[in-house]
Amino acid sequence: MPVAEALSAFAPARRSPVVTTAPALGVVPAADVVCGEQLPGWARATVDGYAVRAADTYAASETLPALLEVTGAVTMGRAPEGEIRPGSAMAIPTGGLLPPGADAVVMVEYTTEPMPGSVELLRGVAPGEGVLQPGEEAGPGDVLAPAGRPLRAADLGLLAAAGITELAAHARPRVGIVSTGDEIVPPQTRALAPGQVRDACAPALAGLVREAGGDPVLRGIVPDEPEELERVLGEAVAKDDVVVVSAGSSVGARDLTVGVAARLGRVVCHGLAVKPGKPTLLADCDGVPLIGLPGNPRSALVVFRLVGMPLVRTVAGITAPPPTAKVRATLSRDVPSAAGRLDVVQATVVDGVATPRFGSSALLGPMVGADGWFCIPEADTGLGAGAVVDVELY
């Protein structure tokens, strides 16, 4: 099954719950966050200078300055004392509240102080110049942060400015991670007995789950034993929002996972048109996506990036995912591919040239040493040296 088809076959029924939370980087608003007041609430100076009536300044120039009486100074953080009458001005700092009667601010750079208590304007201002108007940033009902877009740093600033210290957000989805295989032992195992392999999949998948905005739940290592696997996966499906199982590398181990998945839900896809990653299993367990990954860690990570991360984002309520870092590069050599299959190729990129890194899919090295990866689409039978590819960077 092609990757796009497999993804569209899924409509995860269960979403992570909506919770009330403080704004923070990556928090996903469950609804548009709306402003409740005018921002700013009052007209403010955007420059240091003098608050004036613009009409008093029209004729002002360097050769014929306008002379105004200075009746006071605006203090930061306070309401101005007094008002601006025709022929008068008040000193005002950037951010200061515009006094009643004033409609503009003349920058201090265009003024001189011929004597205490008066100011000469060397330039005229139009009404509104040097002033931030009430509501110019936002007004009641304006959307400050859209639903489904993880909060960014600037959003945090705008929400704070509007006094929004909590919002309705999607809880980070729980992603259960199960490792299977009689040969798999925990990474803490100091000395391996012959045939044992430390669990590389679970820690790496946990990293990708976090990248996608989920919370990994490590559910341990299960031997190749159907009852035990069904018990652990059943518990994961009951408690988690997405479940991932590294389904073993041998045909026997994979068949076991397929059997258990078929008992827990509806198998949507068994065999994905992607290399590496063909032995991928997708099942819908009452709306909870169950993803059976190939046993080779590298294949598992490739498939989880293609299929798992988009599913985690969907369940997380993310409709506007953060942008990914990509670089356009020319291929250093021919890369063959079979038609009808998406090929994922690891690559290093130096000076705009992408060099593919090959090696057994049982090795993590080609991925660890790569700068990123690119795809050869299903329709293509390979790319020639010099072809332009978009490498998605790690």
Among 121, 138, 273, 345, binds a copy of itself (CB under 8 A): 138
* Closest to a copy of itself by CB, 237 or 318: 318
For residue 13 the two structure tokens come to 């029924």
Identify which range of 12-20, 226-234, 244-252, 310-318 contacts a copy of itself by CB under 8 A.
Answer: 244-252
Residues of span 284-303 touching a copy of itself by CB under 8 A: 295, 297-298, 301
Number of residues that bind a copy of itself (CB under 8 A): 96
- What is Dmax (Cα atoms) for the chain? 95
Q: Which of 246, 378, 385 is nearest to 303 (CA)?
A: 246
Q: Which of 175, 157, 122, 161 is nearest to 38 (CA)?
A: 161
CA distances from 260 to 178, 204, 254, 269, 287 (A): 13, 24, 10, 14, 17
For residue 189 the two structure tokens come to 């195992």
* Closest to a copy of itself by CB, 237 or 253: 253
- ∠227-263-1 over CA atoms, to 5°? 120
Task: Tell me how far apart the alpha carbons of residues 240 and 179 are, in angstroms, rounded to a whole number.
Answer: 15
Identify which range of 11-19, 61-69, 233-241, 316-324 contacts a copy of itself by CB under 8 A.
Answer: 316-324
Task: Tell me how far apart the alpha carbons of residues 223 and 180 are, in angstroms, rounded to a whole number.
Answer: 6
Among 87, 127, 322, 377, binds a copy of itself (CB under 8 A): 322
Binding string, residues 84-123; x marks residues near a copy of itself by CB under 8 A: ---------xxxxx----------x---------------
Among 162, 177, 329, 389, binds a copy of itself (CB under 8 A): 162
Among 56, 183, 241, 284, binds a copy of itself (CB under 8 A): 183
* Closest to a copy of itself by CB, 268 or 291: 291
* Residue 360 neighbours by CB distance under 10 Å: 10
Q: Name the one residue in this structure whose structure tokens are 């740093």.
A: 153
Identify which range of 37-45, 51-59, 60-68, 270-278 contacts a copy of itself by CB under 8 A.
Answer: 37-45
Residues of span 334-363 touching a copy of itself by CB under 8 A: 360, 362-363
